[in-house]
Structure 1
Amino acid sequence: MSETLIAGIRPERLEKLRVREAKRFAQGRPKARAALDAGSDVFLDGVPLHWMKDWPMPHLPLIASAKGARITDIDGYEIDDFCLGDTGSMFGHSPAPVAKAIRRQASRGLTYMLPSEDALEAGRLLTKRFGDFRWQIATTATDANRFAIRVARAITGRAKILVFSGCYHGTVDDVMVELSGGITQNREGLLGQIADLTLGAIACEFNDLSAVEAALAKGDVAAILTEPVMTNSCMVLPDPGFHDGLRALSLKYGALLIMDETHTISTGLGGYTGVYGLTPDIFVVGKCVAGGMPTAVWGLTPETAARYDAANSARAPGHSGMGTTLSANPMQFACLKATLADVMTAKNYAHMETLAHRLAQGLGKSIARHNAPWHVVRVGARVEFICAPGPLNNGTEAALAHQPSVESALHVALLNRGCLIAPFHNMMLISPATKKRQVDRLIAAFDETLSELF
């Protein structure tokens, strides 16, 4: 009987690597282990944010400092950081213009629920960078998407939001749905969710314009909410003409088009929307837009803003249910201004693009050399290796391509060789601070590990 392989790997080879690398990590970080044993029990499940449980190491490292594209832990390891806070620090840790802006603003107040001159300049720069939108400031992309959904429903008078199965738009309850046997249902694993989310959302497969049209034709969809590229699981690129088709269908059936660029801002200057000339009604971006300061923005085209004004003026007095107290604070504006003017530049994106291409090529050559049934996908500065053949067409295929046992062992092996990649799937980012030698070290570490696995 032939042996069952896991992503092309013999199970005993994978297990040998997993055990050895886990032991190597644990033995090398006694300070972190001791500190966690002494102090982590005050946190629920031992971590300040439960997502930290998704890291595959035997225990977490404790970070002492981060600068540029390097992080240092309390056990003295200096690590090439390709996770970069899962895009939050895509432009590097503490970019100099942002750090300077923080120091300057810190002595002037942290929040006052009133605008500043920096707010006006940040608004101008947002329009220059992303296009003619009427902007609002949020603290997270989750909030920005939530507010965009509310606006779309208010404008159209319709209830449903169309999303793509396997998508991720932050922890927005309204769109936590997926396809199962072709039927939209609440996503499996939701904790404490008692509502039937299918009353307000419908899921289609990414790249399936026929399914999108069938859903829109019912006349109850307020908006299509999508990323330009699916990034929640194994990355899925849009088919040629897909975005043109989405735009045409949204106009035909009167649904708004919301483009969530929170991850695809890696594409280039202006995000995927700017690089490829997309024309959404509502534009959302978060994470790294203010250089790592918790900030997100959402913008309405002038026409959409006028429709919002009409809906808003017609509502009854009282709370709109939108907004958070600490959003649009002066520290956010100081960091937005610094990032948009001095960090999110064509020169920096060119550097990121060049090294990301080098990384993708190097990983691809290693995969080919070892005859691994894997592939590599890149969107600007964002690179992923996927432990399955490709390309992938939709979220269902992306979920099936996910190989947790392989990925977790490989991630720890890479970290033991000085390279940190994201704990969620196999995402790697290039920042303006990333060096060619760091990329080459990651390629070498990847190839060394594949040599053992294959």
Structure 2
Amino acid sequence: MSISIPDSVIDSSRLDALLEREQQRFAARHPRSAELYARGREVYLYGTPLHWMQLWPGAHPVYMRDAQGAHLRDVDGNEFVDLCLGDTGSMFGHSHPAIADAIARQAHRGVTAMLPSEDGVWVGEELSRRFGLPYWQLATSASDANRFALRLARLVTGRDKILVFNGNYHGSVDETQVEFDAQGRMRTRTNVTANGMDHERLVRLVEFNDIEALERELSHGDVACVITEPMMTNIGMVPVAPGYHAALREITRRYGTLLLIDETHTISTGPGGCTRAWGLEPDIFVLGKAIAGGIPSAVYGVTEAVAQRVWAAKPPAWAGGEKRNNHSGFGGTLVGNQLTIAGLRATLEHVMTDENYAHMIEMATRIARSVDADIAKHALPWHLTQVGARAEYMFMPQPPRNGSEAKAGRNGPLEAFIHLYLLNRGVLITPFHNMMLACPQLAPGDVDQHNRAFSECLAELVGG
């Protein structure tokens, strides 16, 4: 086995030797984390509170002690520049003072009461102003927000099917856990059980950027909703083809299908996400993860037209002068609690600002330029894509057009080596792919620490 690179070939024995060296370095730096992981395996089904926490490079997870801004420290005293930021959950920095102070104040005033608050009204008004959809609801995760939004779409259209894109990521929504096999047939995603979901009856699957396939699958007239990101981000960033969003919007409208845009990752673009920056027109908008400073929270908004259809099917509690039970299968006792609302308001009001985004994008651009230069220096057949404060490189010459191409460009051993090399030199990037995020507190010196480590990594990788 070998990995071919122009003017250089790294065979498996070389890569194995590099990985073994980095594993030894990792073990020497993290003895306390190793002890905690051994204890965790005795009490957690998969060793950690969330099994994803084991997907970092190394023989065991790194256990966090504290984090502030763009920096994180582990239980062994190692310090890191954090470009992962909780895989977007802390995109605006760890414990941002404005958010931490607001949450602390609210914690002393009451956490949850299943009652609305004045700050909650402010949050709804700001969401409407910022994203352009007039009516909103809250959830505790983007997964839940997507579930509830799809339920609304089925309610108002009377249709059952959902259309998703191959290689998508919308959290743990059952309808989205599908992929194409090697013969182009839809199947349950690898390592995911169907969980009772009849995908054949309820889901249509197409490749991203494929307008012809999109129209073919919507032409049956049985799809309630298309759920999509503005561009794909989780399988590796897949940019949107020119004209695709205009076609997507026109075709969905023509066949009476609602369009749900999930900006949980692409909020890196700017204060209004791609929806505002690109002039998108979703019927339903979903946003989660980072919007309350790391406290579990998500929002979903709908247009006036969708709201009217929802109210016609399920009148609001105030309609007709009588109370109605309009639970409708979505909600949750802790949704909209006062602590979450405090985090939401502080994030929207003080952190998701034009000024902060300008700095975040500047720092991400500083990363991207250095990575691009190193890729060119070693004539590597790789590319980098930047979306605002988010940058990611992939092991293929050009950006993929769809999820299948993105998947084909992944290289597990190579990713593991690069991630572990950076981690051992005090830099965290997202473990699931080669993604880096810039938060408002990230400084040029922090970026340069990553850039030096990445440059040294490639020099060792190609033997330069």
The answer on whether the counterparts of 2:188 and 2:194 sit within 8 Å (CA) in structure 1 is no
Residue 287 of structure 1 corresponds to: 289
The answer on whether the counterparts of 2:174 and 2:194 sit within 8 Å (CA) in structure 1 is no
The answer on whether the counterparts of 1:235 and 1:384 sit within 8 Å (CA) in structure 2 is yes
Q: Give matches, 1:11-22, under 5 Å.
A: 11-22=12-23
Q: Following the alignment from structure 2 to structure 1, what is the Cα–Cα distance between the partners of residues 149 and 197?
A: 20
The answer on whether the counterparts of 2:66 and 2:74 sit within 8 Å (CA) in structure 1 is yes
1:28-49 per-residue CA deviation (whole Å, 9 max, x = no partner) reads 1112222333454211121111
Shift in Å, 1:186: 2.1
Report the AA paired with residue 238 of structure 1: V
1:320-371 per-residue CA deviation (whole Å, 9 max, x = no partner) reads 2211111111111111111000000000000011111111111011011111
Q: Give matches, 1:250-329, under 5 Å.
A: 250-313=252-315, 320-329=328-337
The SS at the match of 1:231 is coil
Residue 404 of structure 1 corresponds to: 412
Q: Following the alignment from structure 1 to structure 2, what is the Cα–Cα distance between the partners of residues 317 and 201?
A: 30
Residue 154 of structure 1 corresponds to: 155
Shift in Å, 1:295: 0.5
Residue 109 of structure 1 corresponds to: 110
Shift in Å, 1:132: 2.8
Residue 186 of structure 1 corresponds to: 188
Q: Following the alignment from structure 2 to structure 1, what is the Cα–Cα distance between the partners of residues 271 and 326?
A: 40
The one of 220, 223, 239 equivalent to 2:222 is 220
Q: Following the alignment from structure 1 to structure 2, what is the Cα–Cα distance between the partners of residues 330 and 108?
A: 9
Residue 51 of structure 2 corresponds to: 50
Q: Following the alignment from structure 2 to structure 1, what is the Cα–Cα distance between the partners of residues 197 and 351?
A: 42
The one of 430, 443, 447 equivalent to 2:451 is 443
Residue 351 of structure 2 corresponds to: 343
TM-score by length of 1: 0.96
The one of 336, 340, 346 equivalent to 1:332 is 340
Report the AA paired with residue 327 of structure 1: V
1:34-65 per-residue CA deviation (whole Å, 9 max, x = no partner) reads 23334542111211111112112111121110
The answer on whether the counterparts of 1:138 and 1:296 sit within 8 Å (CA) in structure 2 is yes
Residue 319 of structure 2 corresponds to: none
The SS at the match of 2:209 is coil
Q: Following the alignment from structure 1 to structure 2, what is the Cα–Cα distance between the partners of residues 91 and 45?
A: 29
The answer on whether the counterparts of 1:383 and 1:427 sit within 8 Å (CA) in structure 2 is yes
Divergent runs of 4+, >6 A: none
1:5 and 2:3 matched:
yes
Residue 201 of structure 2 corresponds to: 199
Shift in Å, 1:198: 2.2
Q: Following the alignment from structure 1 to structure 2, what is the Cα–Cα distance between the partners of residues 106 and 172?
A: 31
Q: Following the alignment from structure 1 to structure 2, what is the Cα–Cα distance between the partners of residues 448 and 317?
A: 62
Q: Give matches, 1:160-171, under 5 Å.
A: 160-171=161-172
Shift in Å, 1:319: 5.3
Residue 71 of structure 1 corresponds to: 72
Shift in Å, 1:166: 0.6
The SS at the match of 1:5 is strand
Q: Following the alignment from structure 1 to structure 2, what is the Cα–Cα distance between the partners of residues 247 and 192?
A: 30
The answer on whether the counterparts of 2:261 and 2:285 sit within 8 Å (CA) in structure 1 is yes
More off after superposition, 261-270 vs 11-20: 11-20
1:421 and 2:435 matched:
no
Q: Following the alignment from structure 1 to structure 2, what is the Cα–Cα distance between the partners of residues 39 and 388?
A: 38
CA pair 431-234 structure 1, distance change in 2 beyond 3 A: same
Shift in Å, 1:137: 0.4
Residue 376 of structure 2 corresponds to: 368
The answer on whether the counterparts of 1:186 and 1:196 sit within 8 Å (CA) in structure 2 is no
Q: Following the alignment from structure 2 to structure 1, what is the Cα–Cα distance between the partners of residues 64 and 194?
A: 32
Shift in Å, 1:318: 7.7
Q: Following the alignment from structure 1 to structure 2, what is the Cα–Cα distance between the partners of residues 322 and 355?
A: 39
Report the AA paired with residue 270 of structure 1: G
Residue 138 of structure 1 corresponds to: 139
Count of residues in correspondence between the two structures: 451
Q: CA RMSD in A?
A: 1.6
Q: Following the alignment from structure 1 to structure 2, what is the Cα–Cα distance between the partners of residues 110 and 437?
A: 38
The answer on whether the counterparts of 2:57 and 2:416 sit within 8 Å (CA) in structure 1 is yes
Q: Following the alignment from structure 2 to structure 1, what is the Cα–Cα distance between the partners of residues 293 and 97?
A: 10
Report the AA paired with residue 16 of structure 1: A
1:123-162 per-residue CA deviation (whole Å, 9 max, x = no partner) reads 1111122113300000000000001100111111111111
Shift in Å, 1:12: 2.2
1:350-397 per-residue CA deviation (whole Å, 9 max, x = no partner) reads 001111111111101101111111111111111101122212100000
The answer on whether the counterparts of 1:206 and 1:393 sit within 8 Å (CA) in structure 2 is yes
Q: Following the alignment from structure 1 to structure 2, what is the Cα–Cα distance between the partners of residues 193 and 276?
A: 36
The answer on whether the counterparts of 1:261 and 1:284 sit within 8 Å (CA) in structure 2 is yes
The answer on whether the counterparts of 1:13 and 1:452 sit within 8 Å (CA) in structure 2 is no
The SS at the match of 2:386 is strand
The SS at the match of 2:282 is coil
1:245 and 2:253 matched:
no
Q: Following the alignment from structure 2 to structure 1, what is the Cα–Cα distance between the partners of residues 350 and 326?
A: 41
Shift in Å, 1:193: 2.3
Report the AA paired with residue 308 of structure 1: V
Report the AA paired with residue 136 of structure 2: W
Shift in Å, 1:293: 1.2
